[in-house]
Each structure stands twice: as structure tokens, then as C-alpha cells.
Amino acid sequence: MEGMKAYSIGFLKHIEVMGIQTYLYRLTKMLGKIGTHEYAEIEKNYIEELWRLFLAVENSRSEELYENIEEEFYILIEKADSEYRNLGEELSERLINYATINYLYGDNRDSGKIAVLTQPP
């Protein structure tokens, strides 16, 4: 558990340094690359506001303010999470396909094998 906590702190610091807009751009670009544009749209709709609320929770000075912002934060997380769940297992399947093609068979973008990732399920 300590390793996960350290990873999370490092990941959050990484986002803070690069900026949420750069992180969002890179994330949505990768999601588009594997053919999961619906997931990219969810990220575009929620991530900046979630980041703003996360920072507000972390930096809140009073317990009342903390509780109000925290509640808003969790409501928004649930809304985004619900949209993710409504898409089913597509993201997992596309990630597995992408990893299989690029790491098992090498980078085959020019051979047509990458087309599997862009075809509708």
C-alpha cells in the first residue's frame, strides 16, 4: 500500500509540473490512438474540473469548506465514473489489443495490423 501511495504522490506531482492541460492533451491523444474516443470525451468533460476540485480539497483551510468541496468532488467523480461504466469493457479490450500489437508483435503501424484498434467492436 505504501508503494501505491508513493506512486500516487509522484503521479500527482507529475501532473502538477506538466499542467493539467498538457496532461489532458496527452491522455486524450493516447485514448484516441487506441480508438477509444468516447473515453477521451469523458476525460475532456471532467478532468479539469476534477483537478480544480482536488486541489481545492487539498488546500482547504477550514473543515466546513473541506467537506463542501469534497462532496462536490465525489459527486463529479461518480458522474464521470458512471459514464465510464456505461461504455462497458471497451477500454480494457482496446488496451489489450494495443499492447498485444505493439509489444508482442512490435510496432506494426505501417503493416495494417493497427487497423484492428480503430475498427468498431
pLDDT at 22: 94
Mean pLDDT by 10 residues, the chain (121 residues): 61 88 93 89 95 90 89 95 88 83 64 42 37
Query: Which residue, chain included where needed, has cell 480544480?
Result: 52
pLDDT at 4: 54
pLDDT at 95: 83
Overall pTM surpassing 0.75 (yes/no): no
Other CB atoms within 10 A of residue 100 CB: 12
The interaxial angle of helices 63-86 and 37-59, nearest 10 deg, is 170
pLDDT at 1: 52
Three-state helix/strand/coil letters over 62-106 = CHHHHHHHHHHHHHHHHHHHHHHHHCCCHHHHHHHHHHHHHHHCC
